[in-house]
Structure 1
């Protein structure tokens, strides 16, 4: 099974390095702490919704790029479900997205 935190962190690191930014510079640009970014990139934590939005804006990539993983680990059905979920989320206002994100975090807690 895919470790979402680790895969997400790898993807953030990959795009940050493509931008040619150190963790410190990227964190500064995204207005998050260095420790937060490091923790995300190492797959220790998953960002809160506001931090996720800051990362996406700073990376300037579509959100789906941060969640598309190796084809061997994600089936077509998984991709379809994910894409549909993203479409639904885009239709929600900010407050409702926060609620969805909190719910997902609760489901993901060990």
Structure 2
């Protein structure tokens, strides 16, 4: 299973759930079988360009937003991203971030 199929599937599922649409309902709205929608969301198959456009339209987003996987990074990538952003900060800003992180984790 390709990583892109899995990422896209998770993204479609996430967006669908935030809009409180059932998987079967989304399948019906874009005129595909519920099993095919399940296969898309689990990363077993990649939707056709036509279905990508339909999914984006139903979810009321731009097609490019279906491929926004930045929030799906694993923990190590997230930590690396956080560190790279705060590393160049001055000491007083670092202390501010430390206080924020500490308050969130206590």
Map 1:79-90 onto structure 2 (within 5 A).
Answer: none
Matching residue of 2:53 = 53
Matching residue of 2:68 = 68
What TM-score do you get using the length of structure 1 for normalisation? 0.59
What TM-score do you get using the length of structure 2 for normalisation? 0.61
How far residue 70 of structure 1 moved from its aligned partner, in angstroms, is 2.3
Matching residue of 1:3 = 3
How far residue 69 of structure 1 moved from its aligned partner, in angstroms, is 1.4
Aligned length: 72
Please identify the structure whose Cα radius of gyration is greater. 2
**Which consecutive residues of structure 2, in runs of 5 or more, have no partner in the other structure?**
78-106
Contact 1:56 1:63 in 2 (8 A): yes
Matching residue of 2:95 = none
- Runs of 4+ in structure 1 off by over 6 angstroms are none
Instruction: Indicate the SS of the match to 1:9.
Output: helix
Map 1:92-103 onto structure 2 (within 5 A).
Answer: none
Contact 1:31 1:54 in 2 (8 A): no
Matching residue of 1:22 = 22
Contact 1:23 1:38 in 2 (8 A): yes
